[in-house]
Amino acid sequence: MATIAFIGLGNMGGPMLANLIKAGHGAHAFDLSENALVRAEAAGATRAASVAAAAGAADVVVTMLPAGQHVRAVYMDEATGIIGAARPGALLIDCSTIDVDSARAVAGAATDAGLRMVDAPVSGGVGGAEAGTLTFMVGGPDDAVEAARPILDCMGKAVVHAGGPGTGQAAKICNNMMLGIQMVSVCEAFMLAKRLGLDAQKLFDVSSKASGQCWSLTTYCPVPGPVPTSPANRDYQAGFAAAMMLKDLKLAQQAAASSGAATPMGSMAESLYALFCNQGDAGALDFSGIIRMIDGQS
């Protein structure tokens, strides 16, 4: 069993840490939130006084942070960062969803310091984090990915090695761009069906077995009824918040601009989610809640 430092204990990081502890790993936890630290201690972690203190006490460092700027600061700050504080030979695993350029910059700095690092963003939402059924898209050298795999297996059901540094992030933003586009298309189809007098269950029965089938329809149907476990049946309480979808769509558009890729549907999905998230507290709703805007609801 490894000694793990876990930094970033929010809605995803907290339950991921709990699953590592359940698997028998020792854990040092750090977060800026006192409530998050209290929950981590209740799960069995030792509270660390700082990022550097947590990293210096561990064989493996796992991070789950909001954005690229936070990842760069937490890893690369000369005085307080993980790279400067980590033990020789430590393994670094960043599970944040960030821009590819930041992921590669931090990985390069870790390599220069003689440390192994992988970018390992996740798919599966809060429910997957709690259940330990996340999918990890992992970028990094073969040896680092294989070293990270037993740790990731404690938190998820699938670990996919996407390629070299940054490719985990690339896989995540490409996947979520598809997801955002597909959800909008499913919402539009149900709202068209509504206006044509076609029952939502009947459309689901047809499309779930026909060429319109996709995850946004069969697992996360945005209208109440056809999929009882979807957020539509609990007033769009977030499993994956609309604000997080918007973040990922923005990352996809940044990557498209920097790489010269044409993503017109991705651009439109970003614009629609931006409009939705600007409606009061809509960003806190599940991303499937965009059907309300498409339906003309305020």
Measure the CA–CA gap between 241 and 258, rounded to whole angstroms: 26
Residue (of 110, 112, 57, 117) closest to 83 by Cα position: 110
Burial of 195 (0-12, 13-18, 19+ CB in 10 A): exposed
Contacts of 228 (CB under 8 A, 6+ apart): none
Evaluate whether 53 touches 7 at the Cβ level (below 8 Å): no
Measure the CA–CA gap between 187 and 277, rounded to whole angstroms: 16
103 token code pair: 């992921």
DSSP 8-state symbol, 168: H
- The single residue listed with the structure tokens 């993980």 is 82
Active site residues: 172
Which parts of 142-195 are beta strand (E)?
A: 156-163
How crowded is the C-beta side of 222, counted as CA atoms within 13 Å? 28
Measure the CA–CA gap between 110 and 93, rounded to whole angstroms: 11
Contacts of 110 (CB under 8 A, 6+ apart): 75, 83, 92, 116, 117
Radius of gyration of the chain (CA): 20
Measure the CA–CA gap between 38 and 17, rounded to whole angstroms: 13
